[in-house]
């Protein structure tokens, strides 16, 4: 048990060092991710300006108007919180990396060494996220400070904050194991790029990344009700909606339980795919 803990700790430190090798490139890439935030803020300003009364726009509060219960300030606050959610749940390169290891035969090392593949990948992602948060803390703090006027209700209650942070941690696990499952399909398909593209498209549209789920139509088909049965909302929408009070009370706790259930489902599914996959896998050569 102690040797296993030392092994994982060593692997974690190595992953941290790998992320810090190209520090300047990593920092620049992190800072550049904030540029779409400005674009989104100006885009929603233009949308609300169209639907609001003439001359209502204010330099601090923005134009008036209401879209599905969201005023302009609510929408900006929502999008800022979604950025945080996405920072936890997004796993760039994970699916393709797993598929490439299977296709190129690199997965063999996990079959002959006493190291768990998913555990290694999880340590790598935790290390990546920690370095990312370390670099992005100051930019995030600056952006939220400049946009503090959009959070008109201030900080939520303590129980809401607890659910918010728990949902962020669970969104990380959900995103990791969901994309791991897609990557492990590489045991059966030579190329998973198309599946990855479909997943990213559905993620972008159904997770609340592009717009709040309240904007989904309810007639003639209640699309939002169908979307709520899927796990995508927990990757972006749910934590932001909890923080803003759009989901509260018993509904908030039911959502958290559902998120835990989805995480457990994909954990088990990833293990089943791994066990089934290595039984049909054939590796030749060195």
Considering 11-20, 21-30, 148-157, the range whose residues carry the highest mean pLDDT is 148-157
Give the pLDDT score at 163: 95
Query: Which residue did the predictor score with more confidence, 268 or 43?
Result: 268
258-262 own/partner pairs: CB under 8 Å, 24+ apart? 258/234, 259/167, 259/170, 259/171, 259/174, 259/231, 259/234, 260/170, 262/174, 262/231, 262/234
Residue 176 pLDDT class (50, 70, 90 cuts): very high
Pairwise CA distance, residues 206 & 233, whole Å = 6
Would you tell me how many other CB atoms lie within 10 Å of the CB of residue 62?
Answer: 22
C-alpha neighbours within 13 Å on the C-beta side of residue 23: 5
Q: What is the mean pLDDT of the chain?
A: 82
Q: Mean pLDDT throughout 48-61?
A: 63
The structure tokens listed for 220 are: 């003639």
Give the pLDDT score at 22: 65
Pairwise CA distance, residues 213 & 191, whole Å = 32
Name the least confident of 34-38, 134-138, 232-236, 273-277: 34-38
Pairwise CA distance, residues 10 & 196, whole Å = 31
Phi, psi at 68, each rounded to 5°: 55, 40
Give the pLDDT score at 153: 78
Per-residue pLDDT tens for 253-278?
Answer: 999 999 999 999 999 999 999 999 98
Pairwise CA distance, residues 83 & 136, whole Å = 11
Query: Which residue did the predictor score with more confidence, 254 or 280?
Result: 254
Q: What DSSP assignment string belongs to 162-198?
A: HHHHHHHHHHHHHHHHHHHHHHHGGGT-S--HHHHHH
DSSP code of residue 214: G
Query: Residue 140 above 60 pLDDT?
Result: yes
């Amino acid at each position: 048990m102690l040797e296993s803990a030392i092994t994982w700790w060593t692997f974690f430190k190595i992953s941290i060092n790998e992320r810090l090798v190209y520090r300047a490139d990593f920092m620049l890439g992190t800072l550049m991710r904030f540029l779409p935030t400005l674009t989104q803020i100006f885009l929603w300003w233009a949308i609300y300006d169209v639907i609001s009364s003439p001359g209502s726009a204010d330099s601090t509060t923005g134009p008036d108007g209401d879209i599905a219960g969201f005023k302009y300030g609510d929408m900006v606050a929502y999008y800022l919180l979604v950025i945080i959610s996405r920072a936890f749940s997004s796993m760039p390169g994970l699916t393709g990396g797993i598929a490439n290891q299977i296709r190129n035969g690199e997965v063999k090392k996990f079959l002959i060494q006493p190291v768990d593949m998913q555990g290694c990948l999880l340590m790598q992602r935790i290390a990546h996220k920690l370095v990312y948060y370390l670099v992005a803390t100051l930019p995030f703090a600056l952006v939220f400070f400049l946009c503090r006027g959009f959070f008109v209700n201030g900080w939520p209650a303590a129980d809401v904050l607890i659910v918010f942070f728990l949902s962020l941690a669970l969104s990380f696990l959900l995103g990791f194991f969901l994309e791991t499952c897609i990557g492990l399909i590489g045991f059966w398909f030579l190329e998973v790029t198309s599946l990855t593209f479909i997943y990213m498209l559905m993620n972008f549209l159904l997770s609340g990344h592009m717009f709040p789920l309240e904007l989904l139509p309810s007639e003639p088909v209640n699309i939002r009700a169908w979307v709520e049965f899927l796990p995508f909302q927990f990757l972006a929408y749910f934590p932001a909606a909890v923080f803003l009070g759009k989901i509260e009370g018993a509904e908030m706790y039911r959502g958290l339980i559902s998120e835990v259930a989805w995480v457990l489902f994909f954990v088990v599914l990833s293990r089943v795919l791994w066990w089934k996959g290595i039984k049909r896998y054939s590796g030749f050569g060195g």
